[in-house]
């Protein structure tokens, strides 16, 4: 960073978002029906908080170290021990431009979907998976305002802590590495990086 320039939403973006919403509804509906038949949990609602360290070296130069990131996630059981997941998080960070030392603000909104497997071992339930990301980002400083998005993919894993089969509260720890790059005015910006944190899941 800083990121320069501004992009408008691509034509047809609203139509693609609508199609994606319908597909997500079908996935959650099928997962719920299958989980009910198998006697397993249907899914979870998850609240998470952690830290995100962006890979791009300019991020550390302008914004110093990583930033706090938090958000909401949903999972749906597809088949035994396999879940579909969707989560959205928000990261906000203030820094200083390299030369002028003027204030700059970055807001990053990662949206992730994927598939992961899990298997309970005693009171621990490890999980691991991979998927795709869309990063919405906004940066504002004296140079200008940038509003854009980028796509990429990620891998990740973690574990739930289970207090009992009939207790729906599942604390968890999670780590994720994302590979997301964007090109703005011939400059490649690496928005990916390492995210780690913890949270609380409510099973249903």
The domain that contains 100 carries what CATH number? 2.40.160.20
- Tell me: the pLDDT tens digits for 115-129? 999 999 999 999 999
Residue 5 lies in a domain: no
Which residue do the tokens 């021990």 mark? 81
Pick 165 or 39 by higher pLDDT: 165
| Beta-bridge partners for 84 | 76, 115
Residue 130 lies in a domain: yes
Residue 8 lies in a domain: no
Q: Are 41 and 170 in contact (CB under 8 A)?
A: no
- CA dist 182 and 148 (Å) reads 9
Query: Which range marks the domain in which residue 107 is found?
Result: 13-203
Residue 4 lies in a domain: no
Residue 6 lies in a domain: no
Task: Please say if the pLDDT value at position 52 is more than 90.
Answer: yes
Average pLDDT, the chain: 86
Residue 1 lies in a domain: no
Pick 14 or 102 by higher pLDDT: 102
Residue 2 lies in a domain: no
- CA dist 83 and 31 (Å) reads 8
- CA dist 172 and 31 (Å) reads 22
- Number of domains into which the chain is organized: 1
Which residue do the tokens 């830290």 mark? 51
Q: With pLDDT > 70 as the criterion, what percentage of the chain qualifies? A: 81
């Amino acid at each position: 960073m800083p990121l320069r320039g501004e992009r408008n939403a691509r034509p047809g973006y609203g139509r693609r978002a609508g199609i994606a919403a319908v597909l997500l509804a079908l996935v959650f509906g099928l997962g719920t029906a299958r989980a009910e038949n198998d006697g397993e949990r249907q899914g979870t609602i998850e609240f998470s908080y952690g830290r995100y360290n962006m890979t791009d070296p300019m991020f550390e130069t302008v914004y110093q170290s990583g930033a706090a990131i938090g958000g909401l996630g949903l999972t749906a059981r597809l088949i035994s021990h396999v879940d579909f997941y969707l989560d959205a998080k928000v990261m906000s960070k203030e820094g200083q431009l390299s030369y002028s030392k003027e204030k700059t603000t970055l807001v990053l909104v990662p949206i992730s979907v994927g598939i992961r497997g899990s298997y309970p071992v005693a009171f621990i339930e490890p999980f691991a998976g991979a998927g795709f990301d869309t990063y919405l980002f906004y940066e504002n400083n004296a140079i200008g305002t940038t509003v854009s998005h980028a796509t990429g993919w990620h891998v990740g894993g973690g574990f739930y802590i289970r207090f009992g089969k009939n207790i729906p509260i599942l604390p968890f720890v999670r780590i994720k590495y994302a590979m997301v790059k964007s090109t703005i005015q011939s400059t490649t910006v690496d928005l990916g990086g390492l995210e780690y944190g913890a949270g609380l899941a409510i099973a249903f």
